[in-house]
């Protein structure tokens, strides 16, 4: 199983892509963020929320097999 | 099964013709006594001597459409509206063009005056849409909502 991660807005400039897959890991959202910040150290300086299956979640939330998205501050309208 | 959400997104700018047609379509709904319309227009802000030429919008579409559904539901619960329509642009919208169109209708004016503000503020705060301000020289910065 893979973990699908999506990036939006300015975060796509940090990662250089809009989505990618990682092997599924055990743990919670904080563990996923650790993995991503190791790969993209610049993420540590960015403000963002995390959504799992399109719902904003706390970093203590366990990882599901769905889709995780990193969302910078919204700026629609 | 996942709930299918209504799609609010339109590729590019929202034309005056689209908005005009939308108004015309409501003329058969004769219980309506008041419409209120919000049009968000791309502003040519000048930042450090450079002028914004366009905004390029991207969105987490599934999540944003779900949020728009929720906003619609909350607004109908709170206000006595006959109907409501929301459209938002994706992709490039030039300065002076329309990127957000919110349209609420009700038998009475006071309701639509309040409801419109409620909807627009929610859209700005709760929908996963991201604006990139493109300057004339093709450099850019990420838009921040104030």
Which residue in chain A has the smallest CA separation from B140? A10
Token readout for B13 is 């700018």
Of residues B145 and A8, which shows the higher confidence score? A8
For residues B107 and B100, give the distance between their C-alpha atoms in angstroms, rounded to a whole number: 24
- Residue B129 touches partner A, C-beta closer than 8 Å: yes
Q: Is residue B113 assigned to a domain?
A: yes
Which residue in chain B has the smallest CA separation from A69? B60
- How close B31 gets to chain A, by Cα (Å)? 30
In 3-state terms chain A splits into helix, strand, coil percentages (rounded to 5) of 25, 30, 40
Q: Is the pLDDT assigned to residue B1 strictly greater than 70? A: no
For residues B116 and B5, give the distance between their C-alpha atoms in angstroms, rounded to a whole number: 21
Q: Is residue B2 assigned to a domain?
A: no
What is the reported pLDDT for A16?
Answer: 98
- Interchain CB distance below 8 Å, A77 and B142: no
Token readout for B12 is 């590019």
Pick the CATH number of A2-71 from 3.10.20.30, 3.10.129.10, 3.40.50.720, 3.40.50.300: 3.10.20.30
Q: Is residue B3 assigned to a domain?
A: no
pLDDT in tens, A30-46: 999 999 999 999 999 99
Beta strands A67-71; B129-135: pairing state: unpaired
Domain boundaries, chain A: 2-71
- Give the CA distances from residue B47 to residues A74, A76, B138, B141, in Å, rounded to whole numbers and listed in that order: 20, 19, 14, 10
Q: How many domains does chain B have?
A: 1
**Contact present, B8 and B90 (Cβ < 8 Å):** no
The ipTM is 0.94
Q: In A, which residues are within 8 Å of B42 by CB distance?
A: none
For residues B36 and B38, give the distance between their C-alpha atoms in angstroms, rounded to a whole number: 7
Range of the domain at B51: 9-142
The beta-carbon neighbor of B131 closest among A51, A69, A75 is: A75
Q: Is residue B119 assigned to a domain?
A: yes
Q: Which CATH number fits the domain that encloses residue B53?
A: 3.90.1170.40
**Contact present, B22 and B10 (Cβ < 8 Å):** no
pLDDT in tens, B73-121: 999 999 999 999 999 999 999 999 999 999 999 999 999 999 999 999 9
Share of chain B above pLDDT 70, in %: 98
Which residue in chain A has the smallest CA separation from B99? A77
Q: Is residue B64 assigned to a domain?
A: yes
- Interchain CB distance below 8 Å, A51 and B130: no
What is the reported pLDDT for B11?
Answer: 98
């Amino acid at each position: 199983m893979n973990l699908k991660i999506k990036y939006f807005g300015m975060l796509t400039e940090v990662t250089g892509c809009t989505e990618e897959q990682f092997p599924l890991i055990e743990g919670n959202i904080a563990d996923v963020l650790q993995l991503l910040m190791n790969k993209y150290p610049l993420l540590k300086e960015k403000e963002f929320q995390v959504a799992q299956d399109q719902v904003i979640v706390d970093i203590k939330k366990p990882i599901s097999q769905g889709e995780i998205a990193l969302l910078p501050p919204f700026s629609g309208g | 099964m996942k709930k299918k959400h209504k799609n609010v997104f339109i590729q590019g700018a929202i034309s005056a013709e689209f908005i005009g047609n939308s108004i015309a379509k409501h003329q058969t709904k004769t219980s309506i006594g008041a419409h209120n319309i919000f049009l968000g227009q791309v502003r040519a802000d000048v930042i450090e001597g450079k002028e914004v030429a366009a905004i390029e919008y991207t969105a987490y579409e599934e999540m944003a459409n779900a949020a728009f559904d929720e906003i619609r539901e909350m607004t109908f619960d709170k206000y006595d509206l006959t109907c409501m329509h929301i459209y938002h642009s994706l992709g490039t919208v030039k300065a002076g063009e329309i990127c957000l169109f919110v349209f609420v209708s009700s038998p009475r004016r006071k309701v639509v005056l309040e409801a419109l503000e409620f909807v627009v503020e929610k859209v700005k705060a709760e929908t996963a849409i991201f604006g990139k301000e493109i300057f004339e020289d093709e450099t850019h910065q990420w838009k921040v909502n104030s």
